[in-house]
Chains A and B, each alone.
Chain A
Amino acid sequence: MPRIPEPLRRLTRGLAVPVGSVLFAFVVGGLIVAGTGGDPVVAYQGLVCGGLGILCSGGENSALQISNTIIFVTPLLMAGVAVALPFRAGLFNIGAEGQYLAGAVACTAIGVKFSTLPAPILLPMVLLGGMAAGAFWAGIAGVLKATTGAHEVVTTIMLNYVAQWLVRYLIIGGPLQLQGGFSVSSPIGPGAQLATILPNDNHRILFGLPSSVYRIHVGLFIALAAVAVFAFLLWRTPLGYEIRAVGQSQRAARYAGVSVRRTIIVTMLIAGAFAGLAGAVQIAGVDHNLTDIYFSDTTGFDAIAVALLGLGSGVGIVLASILFGALHAGGSVMQADAGISSSLVLVLQALILFSIGANFLSAIKVRLPAIGRSPSTPPAAIAAAATATEATGAPPEKDTS
Chain B
Amino acid sequence: MRQSQIRYLGLVAAALLLVAACGSTTGGTASPSAKVVKVGLVTDIGGLNDKSFNHLADVGLEKAKVDFHIQGDVTESHTGGDYIPNLTHYAQLNYDLVIGVGFLMQQAVGTVAGQFPTVKFAIIDGVGTDAKGNDLKLPNVVSLVFKEQDAGAMVGVIAGMMEKDKLTPGKTNVISAVGGVSIPPVNHYIAGYKWAATMEDPGIKVLVGYSNDFTDPAKCQSVAKAQIAAKSEVVFQVAGGCGLGALQAAGQAKLFSIGVDADQGTADPSVIASALKKVDVATYTAIQSVVNGTFQSGALTFSIVNGGAGYQLDNFPGGALPADIQTEVDSVMAKIKAGTLTPPDTIPAG
Contacts and interface: CB of A to CB of B under 8 A. Distances in A.
Interface of A: 32-33, 36-39, 42, 50, 58-61, 64, 68, 71-72, 94, 97, 157, 160-161, 164, 168, 172-173, 178, 180-184, 186-187, 202, 209-210, 212-213, 215, 286, 288-289, 291-298, 301, 328-329, 331-333, 335-347, 350
B78 A291 contact: no
Contacts of A345: 78
B47 to A, nearest CB: 8
A336 B1 contact: no
7 contacts: A60-B89, A187-B131, A288-B131, A293-B80, A332-B89, A339-B26, A341-B76
B82 A332 contact: yes
Nearest to A95: B1
Contact of B2 (A36, A42, A161): A161
Given A181-B133, A184-B107, A202-B115, A295 B26 contact: no
B17 A343 contact: yes
A295 B80 contact: yes
Nearest to B104: A292
Contact of B132 (A187, A295, A333): A187
Given A157-B1, A335-B74, A341-B14, 8 more contacts: A32-B18, A38-B21, A183-B104, A328-B82, A338-B27, A342-B76, A342-B78, A347-B15
9 closest cross-chain pairs (CB), A and B: A293-B80, A343-B14, A36-B18, A181-B133, A37-B22, A187-B131, A301-B4, A68-B85, A296-B45
B181 interface: yes
A296 B79 contact: yes
Interface string B1-41: 11110011011011101110111111110000000000010
Contacts of B181: 172, 182-183
B83 interface: yes
B131 A289 contact: yes
Interface of B: 1-4, 7-8, 10-11, 13-15, 17-19, 21-28, 40, 45, 73-86, 88-90, 92-93, 103-104, 107, 112, 114-116, 131-133, 181, 183, 212-213
Contacts of A33: 18
Q: Which of A37, A168, A202 has the most CB of B within 10 A?
A: A37
Contacts, number: 171
Contacts of A329: 85
A339 B21 contact: yes
Contact of A297 (B14, B80, B88): B80
A180 B89 CA distance: 31
Contacts of A215: 84
Nearest to A153: B1
A301 B11 CA distance: 15
Contacts of B24: 37, 339
B133 to A, nearest CB: 4
Nearest to A38: B26
A203 to B, nearest CB: 10
Given A60-B89, A291-B80, A346 B75 contact: no
A68 B85 CA distance: 7
Contact of A64 (B8, B17, B92): B92
A350 B76 contact: no
A72 B77 CA distance: 14
Contacts of B84: 215
A332 B91 CA distance: 14
A59 B15 CA distance: 29
A97 B159 CA distance: 44
A213 B131 contact: no
B92 A39 contact: no
